[in-house]
Amino acid sequence: MSLSTKRLAPPAPQFIFVDVNRRCNLHCLHCMYWKGKPDNPSTHISIKHRGEIIREFAAMNENGAVIICGGESMLDLDRFFAVTSTCAESGLRCFSVINGTRVTTTEMADRMIEEGPTEITVSLNSHRKDIHDETRGVEGSFDKAVGALRLFLASRNRKGHGPRIFVMALICERNYRELDQFYDFVLNDIGADKLKLNFLQPTFGPPTLWYQDRFFDKNVIRDEEELARTISVCDEKYGLRINPLWLEQVKMYHRSIRKNGWRRLGWRRGKGTEVHICNSYERNIMVDLWGRARLCFYPGFPAFQLLQPGDLRRFWESCDRLRQRMSHCNRYCAISHSVRKESATLKD
């Protein structure tokens, strides 16, 4: 790719997202990774190379954070724990979202509490087993997700220390009206530290698959005002400290989809959100399995191959034109927890 020379270096990146795999043991209806053709692991960067990239990131921002990405990242435990170990050695925070299916024993929960990320998030789509299992595509996935959360919390309580334990929910037409009960289940029954909300986007995965995105069409939220009222009720009841700017952007996102129409076209619909709400290009670096760096997950923006020491810094400091181009991108992914400018809750 061609990158411009930046006259004034931007602030240091805050987050680096590192892929450890692109395979999964669930069949989520909003994701097609599990339908993709398996790639050849021998073409992936080595554990050593990934560690070198993370250490270079630490040199750029000692207060930064590493996010472990998949697929289901815990399907490759050697890569997973190599990242957490490198982060610990480098003084970096480390976050990971998992589906919970690989945390079925006290021993694994204890290992995650002692050697794993500094923030562990388990994906859970509802307090109702039927909704979670249906949207995740595998019967029994609810029990495993909830079981993992309970194992983590029991291990943390027993040890008297450990990471924050969060739940991440995909919010869509079939579950948003029951957010009150969902919050109660996560915060009071399970006892997790937070329930984080992500909203349904067009189906992601191998780009050649979905010309007709039926799941997105049927399940994206229709009434953004009712959604906002539901979140506001939960905010008052559970003391969530919801960010009003974020809530307005949530409404705008769903209003944009409704006005744009043609939901079945998914990502292929030309129009996006009414307002630009992403700032990934100002704070994030995404590094894939082949050592290619981007400023967001969208493959339509160019990547830069990381081969030599210093390449990560050179990439970050030479993307002025690319950032300018990205500052006009209004794709639906802008609502994602990973890239949106506004946090869902107010900072202390």
The two three-digit tokens of residue 183, written as one number: 């919050």
Is residue 314 scored above 50 in pLDDT? Answer: yes
From the number of C-beta atoms within 10 Å of its C-beta (0-12, 13-18, 19+), residue 274 rates as: middle
Rounded to the nearest 10 degrees, the angle between the axes of helix 106-115 and helix 77-90 is 30
Question: What's the CA gap between 285 and 14, in Å, rounded?
Answer: 8
Please compute the mean of the pLDDT values over residues 309-338 and round it to a whole number: 96
Is residue 97 within 8 Å of 121, Cβ to Cβ?
Answer: yes
Output the pTM of the full model: 0.94
pLDDT given for residue 23 in this prediction: 92
**Which tokens in the block code for residue 123?**
């994906």
Expressed in angstroms, the distance from the first to the final Cα of the chain is 41
Res 207: pLDDT: 52
Amino acid at 67: I
pLDDT at 143: 98
pLDDT at 200 over 90: yes
List the structure tokens of 134. Answer: 């249906």
pLDDT, residue 117, reads: 98
Strand order of the β-sheet with 15-19 is 194-199, 164-171, 119-123, 93-98, 65-69, 15-19, 284-287, 292-294, 304-305
Length of the chain measured in residues: 348
pLDDT at 221: 98
Decide if pLDDT at 48 tops 90. Answer: yes
Residue type, 224: E
Query: CB of 5 within 8 A of CB of 54?
Result: no
Q: Is the pLDDT confidence value at 209 over 70?
A: no
Query: 15 by DSSP, 3-state: which?
Result: strand
- Strands, DSSP E only, in 86-239? 93-98, 119-123, 164-171, 194-199
Cis peptide preceding 71, ω within 30 of 0: yes
| pLDDT surpasses 90 at 348 | no
Q: pLDDT at position 3, please?
A: 46
Mean pLDDT of the chain: 94
β 292-294/304-305 pair status:
antiparallel
CA–CA distance, 130 with 127 (Å, rounded to integer): 9
Q: What is the mean pLDDT of residues 305-334?
A: 96
d(CA 210, CA 294): 24
Does the pLDDT at position 321 exceed 80? yes
DSSP 181-207: HHHHIIIIII--SEEEEEE--S-BSST
Phi, psi angles (nearest 5°) of residue 287: -120, 120
Reported as a single tens digit per residue, the pLDDT across 149-183 is 999 999 999 999 999 999 999 999 999 999 999 99
The identity of residue 286, as a single letter, is M
Task: List the single range of 30-34, 53-57, 137-141, 305-309 with lowest mean pLDDT.
Answer: 30-34
